[in-house]
Amino acid sequence: MAASNHYPVLIEVQDLQTYFFLHEGTVRAVDGVSFNIYEGRSLGVIGESGCGKSVTAQSIMRIVPSPPGREVGGSINIHLRENGSGAEEVVDVLKLPASGPKIRSIRGKYIGMIFQEPMTSLSPLHTIGDQISENLLIHDKRVSKKEARERTIEMLARVGIPRPQRLVDAYPHQLSGGMRQRAMIAMALICGPRLLIGDEPTTALDVTIEAQILDLIKKLQADFGMALMYISHDLTVVGEMSDEIMVMYLGQVMEYASTDEIFDNPLHPYTVALWRSIPTIEGKLERLVPISGSLPSPFAVIPGCRFFSRCDRRKPGVCDAAPPPLKEVAPGHKVRCFLY
């Protein structure tokens, strides 16, 4: 399979720093993260709570809760291409006011986002049909209410909601968790975005429903030809959804490589340790090797490698002296570790 960097770039994130300024101190939730998202390709982001994976996505959408959060450095360039015309505009979303008209024309239209808990993005007071068609009406003034409703029903059918003619008038609480997640996907996709961001969209779902939603997202991604940024703590789920995977820990990218490389040839001690610590459904049953210790305090300022305190291959005097750079050790395989 061709590497993603042969595709046109859609989003370039450069040295992103998003900090949270709290009474107790500053949390460097995202601290120098760089990566690209390419047209039509899937980037998986894995990491544990506090690694900055959600805040990275929120920064792209400019929906970081502020205060206390703020994007203090870096750039996020989005390549806006009008369908068919070939015209291209590059916008640094970090330079835009967070609630101005420009970012609002990008959010929802060029980038759709789905969350873990559908109830956080669906209003309990409006029917799902009204909420989905609202998105369409805001972003395209030429669309009439009648047309919006028709397109909403069509989209509900595409995301697998049964009897869409009737359920278009349902309220979120009348739907099951899986159906709400489908409605949220319909809302994210109604404007035909170039990128869909999924932030743990299946974590709250049951196993068989999760499988349905994962299959649905994959199918819609192919149908719409859009890019996917898929965020999860679950390595096996991310493995199914992604062409490339980015492993994050405490606000930094520790490893970035193709999905095959992350699965078959992980290099960073954190990635290797993650693999040894998770139970899987297949293969030999061996005793799991836990990652020792626990996550450092989010307020801690760590001078060297952020994984140092838990790493089983650390070199004192080297790894805790200066931060390791993210280095490309093989084509398309980047690692932040002094071992390489």
Partner 1 sequence: MPDQAQSPLLEVRGLQKWFPVSKGFLQRQTGFVKAVDGVTIDVQPGETLGIVGESGSGKTTLGRCITRLYQPTGGQVIMRVDGETLDVTALQGKELSKFRRRAQMIFQDPYSSLNPRMTVLQTVGEPLLVNNLARGKELEQRVTETILQVGLRVEHLQRYPHSFSGGQRQRIGIARAIVVNPRLVVADEPVSALDVSIQAQILNLLLDLQQKFGLTYLFISHAMSVVRYVSDRIAVMYAGKLVELGPKQELLSHPKHPYTEALLAAVPKPSQRKQGLRLVSPGEPPDLANLPPGCVFETRCKYAVEQCRAESPALVEVEPGSYVSCHLAKSLALQGI
Q: Which is nearer to partner 1, 71 or 210 (CB)?
A: 210
Choosing from 94, 185, 235, 302, the residue that interacts with partner 1 (CB under 8 A) is 235
Q: Which is nearer to partner 1, 82 or 282 (CB)?
A: 282
The answer to whether the CB of 172 falls within 8 A of the CB of 124 is: yes
Angstrom distance (rounded) from CA 70 to CA 89: 25
Residue 157 interacting with partner 1 (CB under 8 A): no
Angstrom distance (rounded) from CA 29 to CA 306: 12
Least spacing, CB of residue 62 vs partner 1, in Å:
28
Least spacing, CB of residue 239 vs partner 1, in Å:
4
Residue 219 interacting with partner 1 (CB under 8 A): yes
Q: Which amino acid is at 72?
A: V
Residues 197-216 that bind partner 1 (CB under 8 A): 206-212, 214-215
Residue 173 interacting with partner 1 (CB under 8 A): no
Q: Which is nearer to partner 1, 72 or 209 (CB)?
A: 209
Residue 224 interacting with partner 1 (CB under 8 A): no
The answer to whether the CB of 200 falls within 8 A of the CB of 241 is: no
Residues 12-41 that bind partner 1 (CB under 8 A): none
The answer to whether the CB of 48 falls within 8 A of the CB of 234 is: no
Candidates 6-14, 98-106, 237-245, 315-323 — which segment interacts with partner 1 by CB under 8 A?
237-245
Helix (H, G, I), strand (E, B), or coil: what is residue 269? helix
Residue 102 interacting with partner 1 (CB under 8 A): no
Q: How far is CA 336 from the centre of its chain?
A: 20
Least spacing, CB of residue 98 vs partner 1, in Å:
30
Angstrom distance (rounded) from CA 63 to CA 107: 10
Task: Give phi and psi for 36, each to the nearest 5.
Answer: -120, 150
203 DSSP assignment: T
Q: Which is nearer to partner 1, 127 or 259 (CB)?
A: 259
Residue 123 interacting with partner 1 (CB under 8 A): no
The answer to whether the CB of 13 falls within 8 A of the CB of 34 is: yes
Choosing from 16, 187, 237, 253, the residue that interacts with partner 1 (CB under 8 A) is 237
Residue 274 interacting with partner 1 (CB under 8 A): yes
Least spacing, CB of residue 206 vs partner 1, in Å:
4
Task: Give all strands of the β-sheet with 195-199 in edge-to-edge order.
Answer: 111-114, 195-199, 227-232, 42-46, 244-249, 252-258, 333-336, 326-330
Place of tokens 């743990």: 200
Angstrom distance (rounded) from CA 268 to CA 41: 24
The answer to whether the CB of 334 falls within 8 A of the CB of 253 is: yes
Residues 285-314 that bind partner 1 (CB under 8 A): 285, 287-291, 294-295, 310
Task: Give phi and psi for 38, each to the nearest 5.
Answer: -105, 150
Residues 42-81 that bind partner 1 (CB under 8 A): 48-49
**Site residues (vs partner 1, CB under 8 A):** 48-49, 176, 178-179, 206-212, 214-215, 218-219, 233-237, 239-240, 259, 263, 273-274, 277-283, 285, 287-291, 294-295, 310
